[in-house]
Amino acid sequence: MSNKKLLEMLTPENSQLIIIDHQPQMAFGVQSIDRQTLKNNVVGLAKAAKVFNIPTTITTVETEGFSGYTYPELLSVFPDHKILERTSMNSWDDQNVRDSLAKNGRKKVVVAGLWTEVCNLSFALCAMLEGDYEIYMVADASGGTSVEAHKYAMDRMVQAGVVPVTWQQVLLEWQRDWARKDTYDAVMDIVKEHSGAYGMGVDYAYTMVHKAPERVKHGERIGPNPAK
């Protein structure tokens, strides 16, 4: 990958996303990141892709034989999406996956998958070598079987030219300018639901500073009643 390519920002027009093997049995083996956080992050990334109309490939391995079904929270983002089932650990070895990527005509591929040291690494290296793709690996929407496994796989990929990113970084890079009002509200909805303390801060600012109504309706709030 040339330095010029590395300097290019991710945009809704030049990116595509592949989600690899986000399935329960694969997640059970993840030890590099809290697994609930992992699911939160990949679902947030998927919602971002939907907001910006990013072409998205979802691929799974041995669903009924070993790995289980893709997280329902993730499938609910793309309820009509085809899921490309494989037997190979390396998604690049599957012709359906290669065809899905090729038809989108975009060389910047954002990747979130399990496990970092196996499925992500093998896909990234082969897609770069054989497909001339530029790989952006979402480190916090991917997981390895140990902290070391994830770290050294990320190190190896970075040495090969893979660009490490985080899911929120990708979201905000796609948004880029808060003046883009057509996606502003949807991005803020993702932030409030998936961005932890940042999302809490947005809720606080909306309600306490800008006096917006609370975004969840609830019963009557009863004031304090000191004992007599």
β pairing state of 108-113 and 15-20: parallel
The dihedral sign for the CA sequence 144, 187, 104, 22:
positive
Catalytic residue among 46, 61, 119, 127: 119
φ, ψ at 161 (rounded to 5°): 115, 5
Active site residue 126: no
In whole angstroms, give the CA distance from residue 87 to residue 124.
18
**What's the distance, CA 194 to chain centroid?**
11
Rounded to whole angstroms, the Cα distance separating 60 from 70 reads: 8
Contacts of 162 (CB under 8 A, 6+ apart): 124, 128, 135, 136, 137
Backbone φ, ψ for residue 56 (5° rounding): -130, 130
Active site residues: 119
